[in-house]
Structure 1
């Protein structure tokens, strides 16, 4: 299991490292988005994500929901192909958060 870490690279720019899988995501993981308070926008770079599954997509959708509630403009960069395929199957690839592919 690869631990999941959200690392701040610059103000509003984060890198997600590890795996976006059932094994690495728990009930506390969505709470990492408490950092949204006081931000106008946030970008998450997924280029360091090692593996992903439907739990990763569910987490991203939860983060989108939380960003909307906090009125923070969120975008994802370098989304892994496997995650884009899952998003496409689910119909989530058509929203603005999932458009920046590798």
Structure 2
């Protein structure tokens, strides 16, 4: 299991490494939303994510909920194809959060 890590690359720019799966996402991952506080906008780069499943999409949706509550503009880039396919099932890929896919 690749440990899920969220690292700050620059102010407002973060990278996720590891897997976004049921096995790698735990309660601590769900509670670590403090990176959303005090920013106007945040971009999360998923280029270094390995395996994903629906738990990864659920975590992204939770980040979106928290960003809305904190009034932070959140976008994702380099979304893995597997995760994008899950998002497409519900039309979620058409939202502004996925506008910066590249």
TM-score by length of 1: 0.95
For residues 32-83 of structure 1, give each alpha carbon's deviation from its aligned partner in whole angstroms, at most 9, with x where no partner exists: 2112111111110000001100000000000000000000010001000110
Please tell me whether residue 99 in structure 1 is matched to residue 99 in structure 2. yes
- Aligned pair count reads 102
The answer on 1:58 being equivalent to 2:58 is: yes
Q: RMSD value over aligned CA atoms? A: 1.0
- Map of 1:1-102 to 2, 5 A cutoff? 1-102=1-102
Instruction: List gaps (5 residues or longer) in structure 1.
Output: none
> How far 1:28 moved relative to its partner?
1.9
What's the secondary structure of 1:61's corresponding residue?
Answer: helix
Q: Distance in 2 between matches of 1:71 and 1:54?
A: 25
CA distance in 2, matches of 1:10, 1:32: 18
Segments of structure 2 that go 5 or more residues without pairing to the other structure are none
Structure 2 CA distance for aligned equivalents of residues 65 and 50 of structure 1:
24
